[in-house]
Amino acid sequence: MSKIDLQLAHRSVVKNMKKRIERQTLHVYLEGELDLHNADKVKETIDIEIDKKGIKNIVLHMDDLTFIDSSGLGVLLGRYKKLLPLGGQLKIANVPPHIYKIMELSGLPKIIEFL
């Protein structure tokens, strides 16, 4: 494992999570690893925007996401399910190939739009 891998593995997806709102769409930039350790924090951070700011459309940018497992995928599916009755949409952008492979196995690309 290279030094860079170790640094990325240690990086908390939550601590480095950047957000911006553009034309009523929330853009969230996920960095590092999304697993059980930070699933709840990511969920809470996004849900506050939906519940308090009335955000209905979200784009999750995954350029710098290094790892995801079923706990992380659960967060994505949960946000999709939350936005659906609000008439909103969740989109996922720039997924690294090794992460897309895991998403594909889960069937997520069949219901969520990938950019």
Partner 1 sequence: MKVNKLVLTFSSLPENITISRMLVSALGSQLDLPINELEELKVAVSEAVSNSIIHGYKNNPEAFVTLELEATPEKITIQVIDTGCGIPDVKQAMQASYSTDPERMGLGFIFMQSFMDELRVESEVNRGTKVIMTKYLKNLQPSH
Shortest Cβ 107–partner 1 spacing (Å)? 9
Q: Which of 113, 55, 88, 43 is nearest to 30 (CA)?
A: 43
User: Between 21 and 111, whose beta carbon lies closer to partner 1?
Assistant: 111
Q: Distance between CA 31 and CA 17 in Å, rounded?
A: 6
Spatial neighbors of 10 by CB under 8 A, at least 6 apart, are none
Is the separation of the CB atoms in 72 and 106 below 8 Å? no
Q: Between 80 and 109, how does the x/- string for binding to partner 1 read (CB under 8 A)? A: -x----------------x--xx--xx---
Residue 32 CB, shortest distance to partner 1, in Å, is 10
Structure tokens at 21: 């709102």
Backbone angles phi, psi at 16, to 5 degrees: -100, 10
- Tell me, residue by residue from 5 to 44, as one string, x for binding to partner 1 by CB under 8 A and - for no binding: xx--xx----------------------x-xxx-x---x-
List residues binding partner 1 (CB under 8 A): 1, 5-6, 9-10, 33, 35-37, 39, 43, 67, 69-71, 73-75, 77-78, 81, 98, 101-102, 105-106
